[in-house]
Amino acid sequence: QVQLVESGGGSVQPGGSLRLSCKVSGYIDSSYLKAWFRQVPGKEREGVAVLASDGKTRYADSVKGRFTISQDNAKNTLFLQMHSLKPEDTAMYYCAADNELPLAVGLSPHAFRNWGQGTQVTVSS
């Protein structure tokens, strides 16, 4: 069982920055994926960024060059640093984690069993 708790969401103007955090606890294998997803009402949850246990990452095309996924192993915390935020980045952001998944499925919400409760990000002037 893996527990995840997000924080760091809020309201920001276009062009601004936010850093989301996700505290991860429970059993994490030596081979894992940790990821960020987002969802707006009426739309399917979409993958934003994923980090594998070997350090490899993948990003959605819409956030490449603006968002960075990272983690602090000592604090068991996953981060999503977001820069140059746009109104279309407005969504509920969720972190997810699971063991023994290939990076190729890391942006698919259907691959993950363990989810946080979400944190809202609103980008508006």
The string of pLDDT tens digits covering residues 32-56 is 999 999 999 999 999 999 999 999 9
CB-side exposure of 74: number of CA atoms within 13 Å? 0
Q: What are phi and psi of 65, to 5 degrees?
A: 85, -10
Going by their DSSP bridges, the two strands 114-115 and 77-82 should be labelled as: unpaired
Contact of 117 with 5, CB cutoff 8 Å:
yes
Contact of 96 with 115, CB cutoff 8 Å:
yes
The letter for the amino acid at 29 is D
- pLDDT tens across 81-118, in order? 999 999 999 999 999 999 999 999 999 999 999 999 99
